[in-house]
Amino acid sequence: MTLLSINGLTQKFGGLQAVSDFNITLEGGELVGLIGPNGAGKTTVFNLVSGFYQPTDGEIVLNGSKTRGLRPHQVTALGVARTFQNIRLWHDMTVLDNIRVSQHYRMGYSLLDAFRRSKRYRENEKRIDSIAMDLLEAMDLRQYADEYPKNLPYGLQRRVEIARAMSVKPKLLLLDEPAAGLNSADVDGLIKLVRWIHKEFGITIWMIEHQMKVVMSLCSWIKVIDFGSTIAEGTPEQIQSNPTVIKAYLGDDTI
């Protein structure tokens, strides 16, 4: 079943064309990569899909619904969650509260309920706590629930960010360079984590990544863009041997 369909997606910033006639179809349960040199337009594509930008032209259809004109929280409600290249956690809030706050779009109570601490407020807060703690347990983070992210190693911070994205129970998870800044051991742990999430939750994962070890280990299909345009797509084996990709991005060294 088609989860995401992008047709003719184009994004211009003044005289700069960041994305040009981008097309892709993602089926439910796929794990797909998006790679290319710095400045190729990869994160712009993710910003368009998640509602941070509105496209100059083209169409994005998520689970049968067109997303043009929707704001990020409305796209999230349709089943999209994402992480960022630079980790964006609230470092003065505990790990638990970082997970809890992601539920704000479906709190289920009003400001007046919160002020009065009504039954509706208490029931929803209990539900949110349960969701957050269950997720921390599943992702081996429960022991850090009361810790502040700024006090955690970088690899654990990345895991917390992914857990926060998963807390909205997405159908589509966008990972923007999840291995950025990680050491070799943490990269191996990330590969295991993403593989486990994909298998355990059966969700569609679309990732941008520069570390070829991550992409080639996880993705069944890879799309390559350069200067906003698609230059290749195929299986990891096809991408590794594609002369255009090697020249534009991978270099001449064997992967």
C-alpha to C-alpha distances, 206 to 86, 96, 111, 136, 178, nearest whole angstrom: 17, 26, 36, 22, 11
139-155 tens-digit pLDDT: 899 999 999 999 999 99
Which pLDDT score is estimated for 197? 95
Tokens 């863009």 belong to 225
96-124 tens-digit pLDDT: 999 988 776 566 666 776 677 777 767 77
Three-state SS letters, 228-247? CEEEEEECHHHHHCCHHHHH
List, in order of start, the domains of the chain with CATH numbers: 2-89+157-250 (3.40.50.300), 93-147 (no CATH)
- Confidence (pTM): 0.89
Helix (H, G, I), strand (E, B) or coil at 174: strand
Largest CA distance in the chain: 65
